[in-house]
Amino acid sequence: MSNDLFLGLDFGTSGARACVIDEGGRVLARAHALYDVHEWMSWLKALAWLVAELPRNLRHRLGAIAVAGTSGTVLLTDATNRPITAPLLYNDDRAQDEAARIRAVAPAGHVAAMATSGLAKLMWLRAQPGTARARYCTDQASWLAAMLTGRPGLSDYHNALKLGYDVEHLTWPDWVRGLGIASLLPRVVAPGETLGMVPLEVAVKLDIPDDCLVRAGTTDSIAAFIAAGASENGDGVTSLGSTLALKLLSAHPVQDAASGVYSHRYGSRWLAGGASNSGGAVLRQFFDDRRLAELSEKIDPNIPSGLDYYPLPAPGERFPVNDPGLLPRMDPRPEDDVRFLHGLLEGIARIEAEGYRRLVALGASPLKRVYTTGGGARNAAWTAIRARLLEVPVTAARHTEAAYGAARLAQQGTRLLA
């Protein structure tokens, strides 16, 4: 039987997921597992659980696997890929002093100059006792891929961006090499590049073919972008979850630290993006899901609410303006809850529209259409309001799970991002 199926694994903040697709992209199986994001052994157990949950006849037809993981989560390993430190997660900001050292040598506004960057965490970890025997710095997706192949020391340029990798020139820049951690840096390849085959002993444990390929992975957010179906310059993907995140496929890279904007390489193109603190978390301060649905049905999305809101769950904004002191603006509140919700939805939609305008003003490709992921994609009134303000077609994403995007990467390899 030919190895004509493809497995995507997504290790995110709310659990780990698996998705198996065929050569036409049709979903044949899904699986979900809870895991402790702070424990690498839990990552490994979740991987084994996910594979075991797949029907055996599908496991035996796997031709390739790709893994997506949280961006900026790092750990140090020895030469055999065994961790010698606990992972530092994507949002860990303890490396403040290291970030200051990076800012002194990095280009202004570089994404690796933040305390939450992989590079700052690497420098913090390297300074801890007991790390002298460290051989590799790795990220979540790359570590799991190495456990599948037995080949540590490799990463993809999506996960390596926050380690300071120069994604434009595809090299480690001199300013990174001069920080005293060059010997720990991984060899970086393109997402989707074949890393190797699953060795026999691993194949036997997982009950999968020993000629199954493992391809270089990506971050969970980029895997979700891939899943959405965006493929042309000018395609945007908006995630309407607790917060509002935008990604825009562009012919040119853009960057602006003042408004929280940076770009990932996407084959020969670029994926520009930013994230606002506005989003669904604001709505849930006032309404539960049932009430949101009930009120939304009564909104006429073609008529402006007349309210000028900037909805935030608390003071502070990241994008399209970076202002830690920006105050929420949600007054006056009308007595009519329908109109109040209308104003909130419209305010978040204006932030989204301004976010895309900001990306385009910085040099990204003009916005042509928007795919939507997250819970907000199911709100028809909000979709219509957003389309009115964005002035482009707005549709729900074809697929919303990052595991599906990882499966597509496993299926197509480097061709996917061409």
| pLDDT averaged per 10 residues in sequence order, the chain, 418 residues | 91 92 97 96 98 97 97 94 95 94 94 93 96 96 98 97 96 97 98 98 97 96 94 95 93 87 95 93 95 97 97 94 93 97 98 97 97 92 98 94 96 94
User: Given the structure tokens 């895309």, which residue do they identify?
Assistant: 356
Residue 227: name the closest of 54, 2, 10, 71 by CA: 10
Where do the CATH 3.30.420.40 domains begin and end in the chain?
5-221+403-417, 232-397
Kindly state the greatest CA–CA separation across the chain.
67
CB burial class (10 A; 0-12, 13-18, 19+) of residue 103? Answer: middle
Residue 112: name the closest of 221, 123, 220, 250 by CA: 123
Q: What is the pLDDT of residue 260?
A: 79
Q: What is the pLDDT of residue 351?
A: 98
User: How many whole angstroms separate alpha carbon 38 and alpha carbon 200?
Assistant: 29
Dihedral, 29, 11, 218, 256 alpha carbons, nearest 10: 130
- Please report which residue ranges of 150-219 form alpha helices under DSSP H: 174-177, 200-206
Around Cβ 207, how many Cβ atoms within 10 Å?
12
| CATH architecture of the domain with residue range 232-397 | 2-Layer Sandwich (3.30)
Q: What is the pLDDT of residue 94?
A: 96
Q: ω before 87 within 30° of 0 (cis)?
A: no
Q: What is the pLDDT of residue 1?
A: 54
DSSP per position, 358-373: HHHHTTPPPP-EEEEE
Q: ω before 320 within 30° of 0 (cis)?
A: yes
Q: What is the pLDDT of residue 300?
A: 97
Q: What is the pLDDT of residue 104?
A: 97
User: How many whole angstroms separate alpha carbon 225 and alpha carbon 209?
Assistant: 29
What is the CATH code for 5-221+403-417?
3.30.420.40
Contact call for residues 272 and 222 (beta carbons, < 8 A): no
Q: What is the pLDDT of residue 230?
A: 94
Q: What is the pLDDT of residue 135?
A: 97
Q: What six digits make up the tokens of 70?
A: 């949280």
Q: Tell me: the pLDDT tens digits for 76-135?
A: 999 999 999 999 998 899 999 999 999 999 998 898 998 999 999 999 999 999 999 999
Around Cβ 247, how many Cβ atoms within 10 Å?
26
Q: Tell me: the pLDDT tens digits for 158-191?
A: 999 999 999 999 999 999 999 999 999 999 999 9
Residue 109: name the closest of 230, 308, 258 by CA: 258
Residue 35: name the closest of 48, 25, 26, 22 by CA: 48
